């Protein structure tokens, strides 16, 4: 997997530009990878709803759940679908709005220095083997491109926003990911 460092993009990924991003603070570079899980509607997979949410075009009338979230301005750098497909929404050198109120090792505002990777999934169902494989490939590409990232700096959203977030959830197999990264 190749990462074009100048563009901040994974070449194998479909790129769909999200407006929900901005420049990182002066001197900030990626130093942390935050693993998330998302499904829209909750517990359902496939479709264009995640793309729509991250691009601010989610139809609030398409599903009752969407009425509560359609006006949120959120994004992630990347989404890994259940089939391993990759969509990138924000170049890695820019700040995606994925972590919200967060803290890692006493540093607040994790969006400033992290990469947000969403896995299509939820707390109640196991992730697909191909998702772990693709996640490991993306992490390896990020490690190569950014000196501040290493395998010890991969955390769940729940780790940086405890009590507020639960993803990627109890079904995420950290041991499996670590074996793929070894």
pTM above 0.85, yes or no: yes
Q: What is the pLDDT of residues 51-105, one digit of tens each?
A: 999 999 999 999 999 999 999 999 999 999 999 999 999 999 999 999 999 999 9
Q: Where are the domains of the chain?
A: 3-47+74-181
Residue whose pair of structure tokens reads 């729509």 in the numeric block: 52
Q: Which of 118, 120, 137, 143 is catalytic?
A: 118
What is the rounded distance in angstroms from the CA atom of residue 43 to the CA atom of residue 176? Answer: 22
Tens of pLDDT, residue by residue over 108-155, are: 999 999 999 999 999 999 999 999 999 999 999 999 999 999 999 999
Is the Cβ–Cβ distance between 128 and 44 less than 8 Å? no
Q: Is the CATH number of domain 3-47+74-181 3.90.870.10?
A: no
**Quick one: pLDDT at residue 18?**
98
118 is annotated as an active-site residue: yes
């Amino acid at each position: 997997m190749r990462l074009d460092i100048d563009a901040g993009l994974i070449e194998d990924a479909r790129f769909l530009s999200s407006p929900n991003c901005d420049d990182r603070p002066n001197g900030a570079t990626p130093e942390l990878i935050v693993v998330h899980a998302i499904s829209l509607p909750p517990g359902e997979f496939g479709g264009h709803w995640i793309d729509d949410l991250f691009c601010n075009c989610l139809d609030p009338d398409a599903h009752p759940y969407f009425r509560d979230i359609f006006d949120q301005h959120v994004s992630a750098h990347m989404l890994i679908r259940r089939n391993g497909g990759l969509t990138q929404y924000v170049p890695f050198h820019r700040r995606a709005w994925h972590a919200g109120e967060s803290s890692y090792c006493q540093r607040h505002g994790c969006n400033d220095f992290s990469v947000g990777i969403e896995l299509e999934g939820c707390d109640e169902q196991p992730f697909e083997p191909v998702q772990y494989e693709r996640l490991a490939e993306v992490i390896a590409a990020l490690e190569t491109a950014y000196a501040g990232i290493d395998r010890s700096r991969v955390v769940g959203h729940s780790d940086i926003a405890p009590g507020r977030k639960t993803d990627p959830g109890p079904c995420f197999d950290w041991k499996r990911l670590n074996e793929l990264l070894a």
